[in-house]
Amino acid sequence: MRVLNVGGNSKAIPIPAHYGGWDHLLLDIDPRGQPDIACDARELTALAAGQFDAVYCSHNLEHYYRHDAVRVLRGFLHVLNNEGFAEIHVPDLASVMRHVVAQKMDLEDMLYRSPAGPITVRDVIYGYAVEIERSGKDFFAHKTGFTPKSLGTALKRAGFGDVKLFVAETRFEVRAYAFKTAPTPRQQALLHLPA
């Protein structure tokens, strides 16, 4: 089994345990993380088609403009085999907005603490300022945002046949599993999906 980790920055950053034992290839635009494939995810169609069982993309899709995000998702379909699936994690702007309003927060207030350090409201909306400033690279900026509904719509527009969305309110995150067709029983067990 092969998984393509799109925009994962470095193999030192762990991916979910359900990919344990899989051949893990890292694709990233930034060569500092020593990716297996140095490539802009908007150019996934330049890779050989149907070579991966899964695409894992955590907190990367929001770094593209809205129209480019759909292009990236179409690239996921291109590299996935016929029974392949994509696992996507993005900030959930709906839960962030609800929390910010309810708590009367400002853009510079800390929303949560990550392994990288404090994450402000502004960081979730516009990108992690510390990394953008440190690197001087604007590809770390957020250029679009998602809610559960808008992520589901983007996945359908890209051509995925079956989409399962999960909201992690406490982590301000939407997680999606998107399948070319319907998930297989093996995939349902692997991802702990309801029947």
Please provide the distance, in angstroms rounded to a whole number, between the alpha carbons at the two ends of the chain.
Answer: 23
**Domain membership flag for residue 128:** no
**Domain membership flag for residue 46:** yes
- 170's CB contacts (< 8 A; 6+ apart) are none
Per-residue pLDDT reduced to its tens digit, 59-84: 999 999 999 999 999 999 999 999 99
Instruction: Look up the pTM and report it.
Output: 0.95
Contact 28, 78 (CB under 8 A): no
Cα–Cα dist 158/105, whole Å: 35
Per-residue pLDDT reduced to its tens digit, 37-53: 999 999 999 999 999 99
**Domain membership flag for residue 105:** no
Query: Looking at the chain, how many residues does it have?
Result: 195
190 — pLDDT class (breaks 50, 70, 90): very high
Instruction: Say which CATH number the domain at 168 has.
Output: 3.40.50.150
Can you give the residue range of the structural domain that contains 19? Answer: 2-92+144-191
Summarize the confidence of residues 164-170 as an average pLDDT. Answer: 81
Q: Which residue from 188, 180, 192 is spatially nearest to 78, judged by alpha carbons?
A: 180
**Domain membership flag for residue 114:** no
Tally of domains in the chain: 1
**Domain membership flag for residue 122:** no
**Domain membership flag for residue 18:** yes
